Structure 1
Amino acid sequence: MNKKVDNLEVNIYSTRELMGDAVAKDVKAAIDQLLTHKDMVNIIFAAAPSQRDLYKSLLRMDIPWEKVNAMHMDEYVGVSAEESQSFRNYLKTNLFDLIPLKSITYIQGECEDIDAECQRYASILEVNAPDIVCMGIGENTHIAFNDPPLAKFDDVEVVKVVELDLICRQQQVNDGCFSSLDKVPTHALTLTIPVLLSAEYIFCVVPGKTKEQAVYQTIHEDIDELYPSTILRNHPQAKLYLDTESSRLLES
């Protein structure tokens, strides 16, 4: 099933596997199109279990990864790259170590000077402006770690430190990333919403029953910072990919 809500193309698939294959084909097509007029493509990736099917499918695609610079959108403060819960570890294990990327630039969440790290990563993004963003939506409708009610559509920062809200932290437990709420870090570094929206293409992958309410809000609420993901409806080339579980409330 396909439909359009404002500018946002919404695609619903019967299985997560079919969803992942469809997103991967669209990502490849975007990379190929960009390479017709660029030497390199800059992609920002999300690190979350919701992206698993996309990454599995990307590994099967014939993509010129040697022409891709990879970045990611957030990282916990105080968590090292070696820890299983770090987003760097997730991306290395599930994608980055398995493909011959031109470059990979990580957010160093465990560094001593967090403000300096924000500036360092912001300067990299200014040189390597994102062409493609592969992302998800949180249970509280966050994109990256821009949680309501503090998310800003007109944020002047590029990368910043945020305090994670309770719903966001509980989601990390629900996803199986942490054993209990008290284990989940309270702060993270995140790319801001304007940076994500600056990409030419946005591919937003949101499967699973725990996301059904967030998906409904993304589609039906007014475009408002209280529901950060609603801003995707303003982007000229954003696509939302759902399975039957995450789209259930749309069909009732």
Structure 2
Amino acid sequence: MKMNIYEHADQMGLEAARVSAAIIQEAVRTQGKARIVLSTGASQFPFFKHFVKMDIEWDKVEMFHLDEYVALPESHPASFRKYLKERFLQHVPVGKAWLVNGEGDPGQVVEELNRRIAEEPVDLALIGIGENGHIAFNDPPANFQVEEPYMVVNLSDTCKAQQVNEGWFANNGEVPKQAISMTVKQILRSRHIVSVVPHAAKAQAIADTVQQEVDSRYPATILKTHPSWQLFLDKESAALVYAWC
């Protein structure tokens, strides 16, 4: 693990975008293409702001994304497909984009995604960390054993509360009960992982991730087992790990 701490979220987002761009550029240089996985949510705003401006051969990039709510219309403000189209895809001409269609038949959607992502290794995965320590929608206690790349999961109350607190839904009852999520093992198969985690609301999750042993009750701790994981924080999200560091 390499931990990078910055004064402000904007600076954190810029540096994470630069590191991510370098990884993608190297993949394109050495193998002619790059495969990436993107996360969403309010915490990723500072990253996407700069990422879409990076000098990257976007037409040689194939994109997947981490998760999507089951049965939520794409027109809903909380739709991750809507998020990625507005904040990423309309700004850069990627070669391919495999979006998780939460409005389709979940079994068929998972089957197709599993087939597509298994075709070649993922070069870079942008993996956020939730307030409850989840990665993608792998809420605690997370299943570290599932081999398939994607699966349908039930959302915990703490996960729903985060979505409400970020303004995506009015209350927990409006949050869908299920989502299609990339699994933990698929995340770890990525050659490089970059986690962008700003804001005070994530401070306890970051402290748990850094200080706890690898434990399914703290899903993000599994990222510490990856040989190439970089964690980008601002001073607010890093507040509880300063002394520990």
- Short-chain TM bin: over 0.9
Partner residue, 2:83: 90
Partner residue, 1:116: 108
Structure-1 separation of matches of 2:29 and 2:231: 25
Q: For 2:241, what is the secondary structure of its paired residue? A: helix
Q: For 2:97, what is the secondary structure of its paired residue? A: strand
Consecutive unaligned residues of structure 2, counting only runs of 5 or more, are none
Partner residue, 2:97: 104
Is residue 172–residue 178 contact of structure 1 (8 Å, CA) maintained in 2? yes
Q: CA deviation at 1:157?
A: 2.2
Q: Cα deviation per residue 1:113-137 (whole Å; 9 max; x = unaligned)? A: 2112111110011114311101210
Correspondences of 1:181-196 after superposition (within 5 Å):
181-196=172-187
1:141 equivalenced with 2:133 (yes/no): yes
Consecutive unaligned residues of structure 1, counting only runs of 5 or more, are 1-7
AA aligned opposite 2:229: A
Is residue 46–residue 136 contact of structure 1 (8 Å, CA) maintained in 2? yes
Partner residue, 2:37: 44
Q: CA deviation at 1:58?
A: 1.0
Q: CA deviation at 1:154?
A: 2.3
AA aligned opposite 1:165: S
Is residue 213–residue 221 contact of structure 2 (8 Å, CA) maintained in 1? yes
Structure-2 separation of matches of 1:66 and 1:50: 26
1:130 equivalenced with 2:122 (yes/no): yes
Aligned pairs, how many? 243
- 2:231 aligns with one of 240, 244, 252: 240
Q: Cα deviation per residue 1:165-198 (whole Å; 9 max; x = unaligned)? A: 0100000011111121111111100010111111
AA aligned opposite 2:122: P
Partner residue, 1:35: 28
Structure-2 separation of matches of 1:104 and 1:82: 18
Structure-2 separation of matches of 1:157 and 1:142: 18
Q: CA deviation at 1:63?
A: 1.1
Structure-2 separation of matches of 1:100 and 1:109: 23
Partner residue, 2:163: 172
Is residue 147–residue 186 contact of structure 2 (8 Å, CA) maintained in 1? no
Q: For 1:160, what is the secondary structure of its paired residue? A: strand
TM-score by length of 2: 0.96
Partner residue, 2:144: 153
Partner residue, 2:241: 250
AA aligned opposite 2:179: A
Q: Cα deviation per residue 1:97-156 (whole Å; 9 max; x = unaligned)? A: 110110111111011x2112111110011114311101210111000000111x122212
Correspondences of 1:207-218 after superposition (within 5 Å):
207-218=198-209
Structure-2 separation of matches of 1:240 and 1:249: 15
Q: For 1:147, what is the secondary structure of its paired residue? A: coil
Structure-2 separation of matches of 1:40 and 1:32: 9
- 1:225 aligns with one of 202, 211, 216: 216
**Deviation beyond 3 Å, 4+ runs, structure 1:** none
1:77 equivalenced with 2:77 (yes/no): no
Q: For 2:100, what is the secondary structure of its paired residue? A: coil
Q: Cα deviation per residue 1:207-233 (whole Å; 9 max; x = unaligned)? A: 011101000000001111111100111
Structure-2 separation of matches of 1:62 and 1:117: 32
Q: Cα deviation per residue 1:5-52 (whole Å; 9 max; x = unaligned)? A: xxx111110001110110011011101111222121111000111111
Percent identity of the aligned residues?
Answer: 36
Structure-2 separation of matches of 1:138 and 1:66: 31
